[in-house]
Structure 1
Amino acid sequence: PPTGRPPLPPPAGLPLLMAFDLDGTLITEQGREADAATASALARLRAAGVKLAIITGRDLAPDAVLDAMQPDAVATNNGGRIVVNGELHTEARFTAADLEAVLAHELDGARVVLFTAQRLFVDLPRGTQPEPWMIARNSGPLSEAPAGDVLKVGFYHPQVAGFAGRLRQSHPHLVLTGAQPPYLSFLTITPQGAHKGAALTLIADALELPHGRAVAFGDSDNDEAMLEVAGYAVQVGTLPLLARHAHTRLERQTDLGAYLNAWADRLGRA
Protein backbone atom coordinates (compact mmCIF):
# COMPACT_ATOMS: atom_id res chain seq x y z
CA PRO A 1 0.00 0.00 0.00
CA PRO A 2 1.35 3.45 -0.82
CA THR A 3 2.68 5.40 2.13
CA GLY A 4 0.86 8.58 3.03
CA ARG A 5 -2.42 7.76 1.28
CA PRO A 6 -5.68 7.19 3.14
CA PRO A 7 -6.76 3.57 3.69
CA LEU A 8 -8.44 2.01 0.69
CA PRO A 9 -12.15 1.21 0.92
CA PRO A 10 -12.80 -2.53 1.30
CA PRO A 11 -14.32 -4.56 -1.51
CA ALA A 12 -18.07 -4.94 -1.67
CA GLY A 13 -19.43 -7.97 0.13
CA LEU A 14 -16.89 -7.87 2.94
CA PRO A 15 -16.77 -8.71 5.77
CA LEU A 16 -18.46 -11.71 7.30
CA LEU A 17 -15.64 -12.12 9.83
CA MET A 18 -13.20 -9.59 11.30
CA ALA A 19 -10.17 -10.90 13.19
CA PHE A 20 -7.97 -8.61 15.29
CA ASP A 21 -4.57 -8.85 16.87
CA LEU A 22 -4.54 -7.10 20.25
CA ASP A 23 -1.34 -5.22 21.13
CA GLY A 24 -0.63 -2.43 18.70
CA THR A 25 -3.75 -3.23 16.67
CA LEU A 26 -7.05 -3.38 18.54
CA ILE A 27 -5.51 -1.77 21.63
CA THR A 28 -2.28 0.03 22.43
CA GLU A 29 0.82 -1.98 23.37
CA GLN A 30 0.13 -3.62 26.73
CA GLY A 31 -3.23 -1.83 26.83
CA ARG A 32 -6.23 -3.15 28.73
CA GLU A 33 -9.18 -1.82 26.74
CA ALA A 34 -10.27 -0.52 23.34
CA ASP A 35 -10.80 3.22 22.96
CA ALA A 36 -14.35 4.56 22.80
CA ALA A 37 -14.45 4.92 19.00
CA THR A 38 -13.25 1.36 18.47
CA ALA A 39 -15.64 -0.09 21.05
CA SER A 40 -18.54 1.75 19.42
CA ALA A 41 -17.56 0.52 15.97
CA LEU A 42 -17.28 -3.08 17.16
CA ALA A 43 -20.79 -2.92 18.58
CA ARG A 44 -22.11 -1.52 15.30
CA LEU A 45 -20.34 -4.17 13.24
CA ARG A 46 -21.62 -6.93 15.48
CA ALA A 47 -25.17 -5.55 15.17
CA ALA A 48 -24.75 -5.60 11.38
CA GLY A 49 -24.07 -9.34 11.54
CA VAL A 50 -20.29 -9.34 11.32
CA LYS A 51 -18.60 -12.11 13.31
CA LEU A 52 -15.72 -10.86 15.47
CA ALA A 53 -12.57 -12.66 16.58
CA ILE A 54 -9.47 -11.93 18.62
CA ILE A 55 -6.25 -13.66 17.55
CA THR A 56 -3.46 -12.70 19.92
CA GLY A 57 -0.05 -13.70 21.17
CA ARG A 58 -1.23 -13.11 24.72
CA ASP A 59 -2.37 -16.08 26.75
CA LEU A 60 -5.40 -14.14 28.04
CA ALA A 61 -7.44 -11.35 26.47
CA PRO A 62 -8.28 -8.48 28.86
CA ASP A 63 -11.76 -8.66 30.34
CA ALA A 64 -12.56 -5.09 29.27
CA VAL A 65 -11.81 -5.97 25.64
CA LEU A 66 -13.93 -9.12 25.82
CA ASP A 67 -16.82 -7.18 27.36
CA ALA A 68 -16.71 -4.48 24.69
CA MET A 69 -16.20 -6.82 21.75
CA GLN A 70 -18.20 -9.91 22.75
CA PRO A 71 -16.17 -11.95 20.26
CA ASP A 72 -17.46 -15.07 18.56
CA ALA A 73 -13.98 -16.59 18.80
CA VAL A 74 -10.78 -15.99 20.74
CA ALA A 75 -7.43 -17.47 19.78
CA THR A 76 -4.61 -16.97 22.30
CA ASN A 77 -0.97 -18.09 22.48
CA ASN A 78 -0.40 -17.04 18.85
CA GLY A 79 -3.28 -19.23 17.75
CA GLY A 80 -2.42 -22.30 19.80
CA ARG A 81 -5.57 -22.20 21.91
CA ILE A 82 -8.88 -21.42 20.19
CA VAL A 83 -12.27 -20.91 21.80
CA VAL A 84 -15.31 -20.59 19.51
CA ASN A 85 -18.71 -19.58 20.85
CA GLY A 86 -17.45 -20.12 24.38
CA GLU A 87 -16.27 -23.70 23.79
CA LEU A 88 -12.69 -24.94 23.50
CA HIS A 89 -12.08 -25.77 19.85
CA THR A 90 -8.33 -26.45 19.57
CA GLU A 91 -5.38 -26.60 21.94
CA ALA A 92 -1.86 -27.24 20.62
CA ARG A 93 0.61 -28.52 23.21
CA PHE A 94 4.32 -29.21 22.98
CA THR A 95 5.52 -32.77 22.80
CA ALA A 96 7.97 -33.70 25.54
CA ALA A 97 10.83 -33.91 23.02
CA ASP A 98 10.08 -30.53 21.47
CA LEU A 99 9.78 -28.81 24.84
CA GLU A 100 13.08 -30.33 25.95
CA ALA A 101 14.76 -28.95 22.82
CA VAL A 102 13.26 -25.52 23.34
CA LEU A 103 14.44 -25.34 26.94
CA ALA A 104 17.95 -26.52 26.05
CA HIS A 105 18.95 -22.97 25.15
CA GLU A 106 22.28 -21.18 25.47
CA LEU A 107 20.95 -17.80 26.58
CA ASP A 108 22.78 -17.11 29.82
CA GLY A 109 20.59 -15.02 32.10
CA ALA A 110 17.48 -15.34 29.95
CA ARG A 111 14.03 -14.87 31.41
CA VAL A 112 11.90 -17.82 30.32
CA VAL A 113 8.14 -18.11 30.70
CA LEU A 114 6.10 -21.26 30.05
CA PHE A 115 2.40 -20.79 29.45
CA THR A 116 -0.30 -23.35 30.17
CA ALA A 117 -4.02 -22.73 29.93
CA GLN A 118 -4.25 -22.14 33.68
CA ARG A 119 -0.91 -20.76 34.88
CA LEU A 120 2.53 -19.33 34.12
CA PHE A 121 5.87 -20.87 35.07
CA VAL A 122 8.95 -18.67 35.04
CA ASP A 123 12.73 -18.92 35.15
CA LEU A 124 14.17 -15.58 36.24
CA PRO A 125 17.82 -14.50 36.21
CA ARG A 126 19.44 -14.81 39.62
CA GLY A 127 18.56 -11.89 41.85
CA THR A 128 15.59 -10.84 39.72
CA GLN A 129 12.21 -10.47 41.38
CA PRO A 130 8.96 -11.54 39.71
CA GLU A 131 7.13 -8.69 38.00
CA PRO A 132 3.69 -7.63 39.29
CA TRP A 133 1.88 -9.31 36.39
CA MET A 134 3.61 -12.59 37.20
CA ILE A 135 2.57 -12.35 40.83
CA ALA A 136 -0.99 -11.46 39.84
CA ARG A 137 -1.12 -14.53 37.62
CA ASN A 138 0.07 -16.81 40.46
CA SER A 139 3.15 -17.89 38.53
CA GLY A 140 5.27 -20.80 39.68
CA PRO A 141 8.88 -21.89 39.16
CA LEU A 142 9.84 -23.45 35.84
CA SER A 143 10.62 -26.74 37.55
CA GLU A 144 6.95 -27.16 38.50
CA ALA A 145 5.55 -26.73 34.97
CA PRO A 146 3.47 -29.71 33.82
CA ALA A 147 5.42 -30.52 30.65
CA GLY A 148 2.47 -32.04 28.83
CA ASP A 149 0.35 -28.90 29.21
CA VAL A 150 2.70 -26.22 27.83
CA LEU A 151 1.17 -24.18 25.01
CA LYS A 152 3.77 -21.45 24.51
CA VAL A 153 7.30 -20.54 25.56
CA GLY A 154 8.60 -16.99 25.76
CA PHE A 155 12.26 -15.94 25.97
CA TYR A 156 13.47 -12.48 26.96
CA HIS A 157 17.17 -11.92 26.14
CA PRO A 158 19.24 -9.63 23.87
CA GLN A 159 20.59 -12.59 21.87
CA VAL A 160 17.34 -14.41 21.12
CA ALA A 161 17.87 -14.03 17.36
CA GLY A 162 20.85 -16.39 17.36
CA PHE A 163 18.96 -18.99 19.37
CA ALA A 164 15.97 -18.67 17.05
CA GLY A 165 18.18 -19.33 14.04
CA ARG A 166 19.62 -22.48 15.57
CA LEU A 167 16.18 -23.76 16.59
CA ARG A 168 14.78 -23.16 13.09
CA GLN A 169 17.53 -25.38 11.73
CA SER A 170 17.07 -28.21 14.24
CA HIS A 171 13.27 -28.03 14.67
CA PRO A 172 11.78 -26.36 11.57
CA HIS A 173 8.27 -27.59 12.41
CA LEU A 174 8.04 -25.33 15.49
CA VAL A 175 6.56 -21.84 15.10
CA LEU A 176 8.88 -18.98 16.05
CA THR A 177 7.95 -15.30 16.10
CA GLY A 178 9.76 -12.26 17.40
CA ALA A 179 13.57 -12.01 17.60
CA GLN A 180 13.25 -9.30 14.93
CA PRO A 181 11.73 -5.82 14.75
CA PRO A 182 9.74 -4.73 16.63
CA TYR A 183 10.59 -7.39 19.26
CA LEU A 184 14.37 -7.73 19.04
CA SER A 185 14.82 -9.19 22.54
CA PHE A 186 11.68 -11.31 22.73
CA LEU A 187 11.11 -14.73 21.16
CA THR A 188 7.88 -16.73 21.24
CA ILE A 189 7.77 -20.43 20.38
CA THR A 190 4.60 -22.45 19.85
CA PRO A 191 4.01 -26.06 18.74
CA GLN A 192 3.71 -27.23 15.17
CA GLY A 193 0.77 -25.60 13.39
CA ALA A 194 0.10 -23.13 16.20
CA HIS A 195 0.15 -19.79 14.39
CA LYS A 196 -2.32 -17.03 13.64
CA GLY A 197 -2.89 -18.03 10.02
CA ALA A 198 -4.03 -21.48 11.04
CA ALA A 199 -6.18 -19.95 13.79
CA LEU A 200 -8.00 -17.68 11.35
CA THR A 201 -8.65 -20.61 9.03
CA LEU A 202 -9.95 -22.81 11.86
CA ILE A 203 -12.18 -20.04 13.20
CA ALA A 204 -13.68 -19.35 9.77
CA ASP A 205 -14.33 -23.07 9.30
CA ALA A 206 -15.91 -23.40 12.74
CA LEU A 207 -18.20 -20.43 12.03
CA GLU A 208 -18.95 -21.89 8.58
CA LEU A 209 -17.72 -18.78 6.77
CA PRO A 210 -15.71 -18.65 3.53
CA HIS A 211 -12.08 -17.73 4.12
CA GLY A 212 -12.27 -15.09 1.43
CA ARG A 213 -14.83 -13.13 3.45
CA ALA A 214 -12.50 -12.80 6.44
CA VAL A 215 -10.72 -9.52 7.19
CA ALA A 216 -7.61 -9.56 9.40
CA PHE A 217 -5.93 -6.68 11.24
CA GLY A 218 -2.35 -6.90 12.53
CA ASP A 219 0.81 -4.93 13.19
CA SER A 220 3.75 -7.25 13.89
CA ASP A 221 5.58 -10.31 12.61
CA ASN A 222 3.36 -12.84 14.36
CA ASP A 223 0.43 -11.43 12.35
CA GLU A 224 2.06 -12.19 9.00
CA ALA A 225 0.47 -15.63 8.55
CA MET A 226 -2.96 -14.25 9.47
CA LEU A 227 -2.73 -11.38 6.99
CA GLU A 228 -1.52 -13.77 4.31
CA VAL A 229 -4.54 -16.08 4.51
CA ALA A 230 -7.23 -13.42 5.05
CA GLY A 231 -9.48 -12.41 2.19
CA TYR A 232 -8.63 -8.81 3.02
CA ALA A 233 -5.65 -7.73 5.13
CA VAL A 234 -5.32 -4.45 7.02
CA GLN A 235 -1.86 -3.57 8.30
CA VAL A 236 -1.75 -1.33 11.35
CA GLY A 237 1.52 0.63 11.54
CA THR A 238 4.48 0.55 9.21
CA LEU A 239 6.40 -2.70 9.75
CA PRO A 240 7.95 -3.43 6.31
CA LEU A 241 7.56 -7.20 6.74
CA LEU A 242 3.77 -6.94 6.50
CA ALA A 243 3.50 -4.58 3.54
CA ARG A 244 3.46 -7.33 0.90
CA HIS A 245 0.46 -8.99 2.53
CA ALA A 246 -1.64 -5.89 3.22
CA HIS A 247 -4.44 -4.66 0.99
CA THR A 248 -4.43 -1.39 2.89
CA ARG A 249 -2.75 0.17 5.89
CA LEU A 250 -3.59 2.33 8.87
CA GLU A 251 -0.63 4.51 9.79
CA ARG A 252 -1.40 4.49 13.52
CA GLN A 253 -3.26 2.30 15.97
CA THR A 254 -5.34 5.34 16.92
CA ASP A 255 -6.78 5.41 13.38
CA LEU A 256 -8.58 2.09 13.89
CA GLY A 257 -11.78 3.40 15.49
CA ALA A 258 -12.51 5.85 12.67
CA TYR A 259 -11.73 3.21 10.05
CA LEU A 260 -14.07 0.65 11.62
CA ASN A 261 -16.84 3.19 12.06
CA ALA A 262 -16.55 4.14 8.38
CA TRP A 263 -16.90 0.45 7.54
CA ALA A 264 -19.96 0.21 9.81
CA ASP A 265 -21.43 3.24 8.03
CA ARG A 266 -21.00 1.48 4.71
CA LEU A 267 -22.66 -1.69 5.99
CA GLY A 268 -25.52 0.39 7.32
CA ARG A 269 -26.13 1.80 3.85
CA ALA A 270 -25.96 -1.61 2.15
Structure 2
Amino acid sequence: MTWRPRLIALDIDGTITPLGREEVAPAVRAAIHRAVDHGAHVVLSTGRSLIGTRPIVDDLGLRDTTAICSNGAVWWDTTSREVVRKVAFDPGPSVRRLRALLPDAVFAAEVTGLGNLSLGRFPDGDLWGDVREVSHDELVAEPTPRLVVRWVGRTPEELALRLVDVELPGVTASHDHTEPWLTLTPPGVTKGAALEDLRRALGVAVGDTLAIGDGDNDVEMLRWAAHGVAMGQAPVAVRQVADAVTSTVLEDGAAAVLDRYFAA
Protein backbone atom coordinates (compact mmCIF):
# COMPACT_ATOMS: atom_id res chain seq x y z
CA MET A 1 0.00 0.00 0.00
CA THR A 2 1.35 3.44 -0.94
CA TRP A 3 2.38 5.58 2.04
CA ARG A 4 0.39 8.75 2.52
CA PRO A 5 1.11 11.38 5.18
CA ARG A 6 -1.67 12.06 7.67
CA LEU A 7 -0.22 15.34 9.00
CA ILE A 8 1.18 17.79 6.44
CA ALA A 9 2.93 20.99 7.56
CA LEU A 10 3.30 23.67 4.90
CA ASP A 11 5.28 26.88 5.16
CA ILE A 12 3.65 29.81 3.35
CA ASP A 13 6.14 32.34 1.96
CA GLY A 14 8.48 30.74 -0.53
CA THR A 15 6.64 27.41 -0.31
CA ILE A 16 2.99 27.78 -1.29
CA THR A 17 3.18 31.48 -2.26
CA PRO A 18 6.07 33.25 -4.03
CA LEU A 19 7.92 35.72 -1.83
CA GLY A 20 6.19 39.07 -1.77
CA ARG A 21 2.96 37.72 -3.23
CA GLU A 22 -0.25 36.45 -1.68
CA GLU A 23 -1.50 34.17 -4.48
CA VAL A 24 -1.40 30.40 -4.13
CA ALA A 25 -0.75 28.92 -7.58
CA PRO A 26 -3.61 26.85 -9.03
CA ALA A 27 -1.54 23.63 -9.07
CA VAL A 28 -0.57 24.07 -5.40
CA ARG A 29 -4.14 24.92 -4.41
CA ALA A 30 -5.48 21.83 -6.17
CA ALA A 31 -2.85 19.58 -4.56
CA ILE A 32 -3.70 20.89 -1.08
CA HIS A 33 -7.41 20.32 -1.68
CA ARG A 34 -6.76 16.73 -2.79
CA ALA A 35 -4.77 16.07 0.38
CA VAL A 36 -7.62 17.44 2.51
CA ASP A 37 -10.16 15.38 0.55
CA HIS A 38 -8.14 12.27 1.35
CA GLY A 39 -8.39 13.05 5.07
CA ALA A 40 -4.95 14.53 5.72
CA HIS A 41 -4.52 17.22 8.36
CA VAL A 42 -3.06 20.15 6.39
CA VAL A 43 -1.45 22.68 8.73
CA LEU A 44 -0.05 26.02 7.61
CA SER A 45 3.09 26.48 9.69
CA THR A 46 4.49 29.95 9.21
CA GLY A 47 6.59 32.75 10.59
CA ARG A 48 3.76 35.12 9.68
CA SER A 49 1.64 36.66 12.40
CA LEU A 50 -1.96 35.50 12.71
CA ILE A 51 -3.28 38.53 10.87
CA GLY A 52 -1.04 37.71 7.91
CA THR A 53 -1.97 34.02 7.97
CA ARG A 54 -5.76 34.28 8.09
CA PRO A 55 -6.19 35.46 4.46
CA ILE A 56 -4.26 32.43 3.18
CA VAL A 57 -6.30 30.05 5.35
CA ASP A 58 -9.51 31.61 4.07
CA ASP A 59 -8.31 31.67 0.47
CA LEU A 60 -7.62 27.93 0.66
CA GLY A 61 -10.84 27.26 2.56
CA LEU A 62 -9.05 25.29 5.28
CA ARG A 63 -11.34 24.23 8.12
CA ASP A 64 -11.17 21.69 10.95
CA THR A 65 -7.45 22.27 11.35
CA THR A 66 -4.94 24.46 13.16
CA ALA A 67 -2.82 27.26 11.74
CA ILE A 68 0.55 27.54 13.47
CA CYS A 69 1.66 31.18 13.29
CA SER A 70 4.61 33.26 14.52
CA ASN A 71 6.97 30.27 14.18
CA GLY A 72 4.89 28.25 16.64
CA ALA A 73 4.05 30.86 19.27
CA VAL A 74 0.42 31.32 18.18
CA TRP A 75 -2.09 28.57 17.30
CA TRP A 76 -5.36 29.45 15.58
CA ASP A 77 -8.34 27.10 15.23
CA THR A 78 -9.56 27.54 11.67
CA THR A 79 -13.12 26.44 12.51
CA SER A 80 -13.81 28.39 15.70
CA ARG A 81 -11.52 31.17 14.41
CA GLU A 82 -10.08 31.58 17.89
CA VAL A 83 -6.54 31.64 19.25
CA VAL A 84 -6.20 28.39 21.18
CA ARG A 85 -2.59 28.79 22.27
CA LYS A 86 -0.23 31.73 22.64
CA VAL A 87 3.21 31.91 24.19
CA ALA A 88 4.85 35.29 24.79
CA PHE A 89 8.20 36.64 26.00
CA ASP A 90 9.68 39.86 27.35
CA PRO A 91 11.22 41.65 24.34
CA GLY A 92 13.11 44.21 26.44
CA PRO A 93 16.52 42.52 26.83
CA SER A 94 16.75 41.58 23.14
CA VAL A 95 15.66 45.00 21.93
CA ARG A 96 18.28 46.72 24.06
CA ARG A 97 21.01 44.37 22.84
CA LEU A 98 20.03 44.60 19.19
CA ARG A 99 19.71 48.39 19.16
CA ALA A 100 23.36 48.53 20.20
CA LEU A 101 24.44 45.92 17.63
CA LEU A 102 22.34 47.07 14.66
CA PRO A 103 22.32 50.83 14.13
CA ASP A 104 19.32 51.96 12.04
CA ALA A 105 17.38 48.75 12.75
CA VAL A 106 13.60 48.97 13.17
CA PHE A 107 11.58 46.73 15.48
CA ALA A 108 7.99 45.49 15.59
CA ALA A 109 6.22 43.62 18.37
CA GLU A 110 3.19 41.56 17.38
CA VAL A 111 -0.21 42.42 18.81
CA THR A 112 -1.92 39.14 17.97
CA GLY A 113 -4.87 39.45 15.62
CA LEU A 114 -4.56 43.22 15.31
CA GLY A 115 -1.16 44.25 14.01
CA ASN A 116 2.11 45.56 15.44
CA LEU A 117 3.75 48.16 17.62
CA SER A 118 6.79 49.50 15.80
CA LEU A 119 9.92 51.29 16.90
CA GLY A 120 10.91 53.06 13.71
CA ARG A 121 9.21 52.85 10.34
CA PHE A 122 9.14 49.66 8.28
CA PRO A 123 8.95 49.68 4.47
CA ASP A 124 5.41 49.50 3.11
CA GLY A 125 4.13 45.93 2.94
CA ASP A 126 6.48 44.53 5.59
CA LEU A 127 3.90 44.28 8.38
CA TRP A 128 0.31 43.04 8.40
CA GLY A 129 -2.57 44.78 10.15
CA ASP A 130 -2.55 48.03 12.05
CA VAL A 131 0.89 49.47 12.73
CA ARG A 132 1.36 52.00 15.53
CA GLU A 133 4.72 53.69 15.99
CA VAL A 134 5.70 53.85 19.64
CA SER A 135 8.60 54.71 21.90
CA HIS A 136 11.12 52.16 23.15
CA ASP A 137 9.40 51.98 26.52
CA GLU A 138 6.01 51.34 24.92
CA LEU A 139 7.45 48.66 22.62
CA VAL A 140 8.84 46.59 25.48
CA ALA A 141 6.09 47.27 28.03
CA GLU A 142 4.16 44.03 27.32
CA PRO A 143 5.18 40.47 26.43
CA THR A 144 4.80 39.54 22.75
CA PRO A 145 4.75 36.21 20.89
CA ARG A 146 6.85 37.60 18.04
CA LEU A 147 9.36 40.40 17.57
CA VAL A 148 10.70 41.19 14.11
CA VAL A 149 13.77 43.26 13.32
CA ARG A 150 14.77 44.74 9.97
CA TRP A 151 18.25 46.19 9.54
CA VAL A 152 17.47 49.01 7.15
CA GLY A 153 19.84 49.45 4.22
CA ARG A 154 21.76 46.23 4.87
CA THR A 155 21.81 42.75 3.33
CA PRO A 156 20.87 39.39 4.87
CA GLU A 157 24.56 38.45 4.78
CA GLU A 158 25.55 41.58 6.72
CA LEU A 159 22.93 40.83 9.34
CA ALA A 160 24.04 37.23 9.73
CA LEU A 161 27.69 38.28 10.00
CA ARG A 162 26.93 40.91 12.65
CA LEU A 163 25.09 38.33 14.77
CA VAL A 164 27.71 35.58 14.59
CA ASP A 165 28.37 34.31 18.14
CA VAL A 166 25.77 36.73 19.56
CA GLU A 167 23.48 35.13 22.12
CA LEU A 168 20.15 36.82 22.71
CA PRO A 169 18.72 36.12 26.18
CA GLY A 170 15.48 34.22 26.54
CA VAL A 171 14.48 33.92 22.86
CA THR A 172 14.59 31.69 19.79
CA ALA A 173 15.94 33.57 16.74
CA SER A 174 15.73 32.87 13.01
CA HIS A 175 17.14 34.78 10.03
CA ASP A 176 15.49 35.42 6.69
CA HIS A 177 17.61 34.42 3.69
CA THR A 178 16.14 37.00 1.30
CA GLU A 179 15.88 40.11 3.49
CA PRO A 180 17.89 41.58 6.42
CA TRP A 181 15.17 40.37 8.75
CA LEU A 182 15.34 38.66 12.14
CA THR A 183 12.40 37.00 13.93
CA LEU A 184 12.40 36.37 17.68
CA THR A 185 9.98 34.06 19.48
CA PRO A 186 9.87 32.69 23.04
CA PRO A 187 12.63 30.30 24.13
CA GLY A 188 12.17 26.78 22.82
CA VAL A 189 9.36 27.82 20.48
CA THR A 190 9.90 26.58 16.93
CA LYS A 191 7.69 25.23 14.18
CA GLY A 192 9.04 21.75 14.89
CA ALA A 193 8.26 21.87 18.62
CA ALA A 194 4.75 23.18 17.97
CA LEU A 195 4.07 20.52 15.35
CA GLU A 196 5.20 17.76 17.69
CA ASP A 197 2.69 18.97 20.30
CA LEU A 198 -0.01 19.07 17.63
CA ARG A 199 0.91 15.61 16.31
CA ARG A 200 0.50 14.15 19.78
CA ALA A 201 -2.83 15.92 20.28
CA LEU A 202 -4.13 14.57 16.96
CA GLY A 203 -2.89 11.06 17.62
CA VAL A 204 -0.91 10.91 14.38
CA ALA A 205 1.98 8.45 14.25
CA VAL A 206 5.51 9.85 14.06
CA GLY A 207 6.03 8.14 10.73
CA ASP A 208 2.96 9.73 9.11
CA THR A 209 4.23 13.31 8.97
CA LEU A 210 5.36 15.43 6.03
CA ALA A 211 6.73 18.99 6.01
CA ILE A 212 7.68 21.35 3.18
CA GLY A 213 9.58 24.60 3.69
CA ASP A 214 12.34 26.86 2.42
CA GLY A 215 13.74 29.02 5.23
CA ASP A 216 15.94 29.07 8.31
CA ASN A 217 12.81 28.96 10.45
CA ASP A 218 11.80 25.70 8.71
CA VAL A 219 14.88 23.73 9.74
CA GLU A 220 13.38 22.30 12.95
CA MET A 221 10.13 21.54 11.10
CA LEU A 222 11.97 19.61 8.39
CA ARG A 223 13.91 17.68 11.01
CA TRP A 224 10.69 16.92 12.89
CA ALA A 225 8.87 15.39 9.93
CA ALA A 226 9.21 11.75 8.93
CA HIS A 227 9.73 13.18 5.46
CA GLY A 228 10.99 16.77 5.25
CA VAL A 229 11.19 18.42 1.84
CA ALA A 230 13.08 21.65 1.08
CA MET A 231 12.06 23.92 -1.76
CA GLY A 232 14.46 24.18 -4.67
CA GLN A 233 15.42 27.79 -3.95
CA ALA A 234 16.11 27.14 -0.24
CA PRO A 235 19.60 27.96 1.09
CA VAL A 236 22.11 25.13 1.21
CA ALA A 237 21.85 24.88 5.01
CA VAL A 238 18.11 24.22 4.74
CA ARG A 239 18.43 21.73 1.89
CA GLN A 240 21.07 19.81 3.82
CA VAL A 241 18.69 18.96 6.70
CA ALA A 242 15.86 17.84 4.41
CA ASP A 243 15.18 14.28 3.26
CA ALA A 244 14.49 15.53 -0.25
CA VAL A 245 14.53 18.69 -2.36
CA THR A 246 11.73 19.60 -4.75
CA SER A 247 11.58 22.25 -7.47
CA THR A 248 11.25 25.96 -6.67
CA VAL A 249 8.15 27.83 -5.58
CA LEU A 250 7.88 29.37 -9.06
CA GLU A 251 7.81 25.83 -10.45
CA ASP A 252 5.05 24.71 -8.03
CA GLY A 253 7.46 22.51 -6.07
CA ALA A 254 5.00 21.95 -3.20
CA ALA A 255 2.41 20.62 -5.65
CA ALA A 256 4.98 18.20 -7.08
CA VAL A 257 5.53 16.74 -3.59
CA LEU A 258 1.85 16.44 -2.70
CA ASP A 259 1.00 14.93 -6.07
CA ARG A 260 3.19 11.93 -5.26
CA TYR A 261 0.78 10.97 -2.51
CA PHE A 262 -2.51 12.50 -3.60
CA ALA A 263 -2.50 12.28 -7.38
CA ALA A 264 -5.43 13.63 -9.37
After TM superposition, the score normalised by the length of structure 2 is: 0.83
> Percent identity over the alignment?
22
Structural mapping, 1:224-235, within 5 Å: 224-235=219-230
Judged with a 3 Å threshold, the aligned counterparts in structure 2 of structure 1 residues 150 and 130 are, in CA distance, closer, same or farther, namely: same
User: Which residue of structure 2 aligns with residue 176 of structure 1?
Assistant: 173
Q: What do the CA deviations read for 1:15-72 (whole angstroms, capped 9, x no partner)? A: 0011001110111112212111111111111111111001101102151443315051
User: Which residue of structure 1 aligns with residue 215 of structure 2?
Assistant: 220
Which residue, 141, 147, 152 being the options, matches 2:146?
152
Residue 63 in structure 1 maps to residue 63 in structure 2: no
Q: Secondary structure at the match of 1:216?
A: strand
User: Which residue of structure 1 aligns with residue 193 of structure 2?
Assistant: 198
Please identify the structure whose Cα radius of gyration is greater: 1
Judged with a 3 Å threshold, the aligned counterparts in structure 2 of structure 1 residues 210 and 136 are, in CA distance, closer, same or farther, namely: closer
Report the CA distance between 1:213 and its aligned residue.
1.0
Judged with a 3 Å threshold, the aligned counterparts in structure 2 of structure 1 residues 42 and 194 are, in CA distance, closer, same or farther, namely: same
Gaps of 5+ in 2: none
Q: What do the CA deviations read for 1:88-147 (whole angstroms, capped 9, x no partner)? A: 33211013xxx21111021221111111213201112xxxx6544478722112334473
Structure 1 stretch 102-111 or stretch 237-246: which is displaced more?
Answer: 237-246
CA distance in 2 between counterparts of 1:130 and 1:255 reads 31
CA distance in 1 between counterparts of 2:160 and 2:215 reads 16
In structure 2, give the amino acid aligned to 1:153: L
Cα-Cα RMSD: 2.5
Q: What do the CA deviations read for 1:217-244 (whole angstroms, capped 9, x no partner)? A: 0101110000011111011124211233
CA distance in 2 between counterparts of 1:165 and 1:146 reads 24
User: Which residue of structure 2 aligns with residue 8 of structure 1?
Assistant: none
Structural mapping, 1:114-153, within 5 Å: 114-117=109-112, 118-124=114-120, 131-133=123-125, 137-143=129-135, 144-145=138-139, 147-153=141-147
Q: Secondary structure at the match of 1:215?
A: strand
In structure 2, give the amino acid aligned to 1:88: V
Judged with a 3 Å threshold, the aligned counterparts in structure 2 of structure 1 residues 202 and 214 are, in CA distance, closer, same or farther, namely: same
Q: What do the CA deviations read for 1:153-202 (whole angstroms, capped 9, x no partner)? A: 1111135336644642x52x4211006xx246211111112211111112
Q: Secondary structure at the match of 2:242?
A: coil
Gaps of 5+ in 1: 1-10
Contact (CA 8 Å) 1:121, 1:142: kept in 2 or not? yes
Contact (CA 8 Å) 2:3, 2:261: kept in 1 or not? no
CA distance in 2 between counterparts of 1:135 and 1:21 reads 18
CA distance in 1 between counterparts of 2:162 and 2:186 reads 17
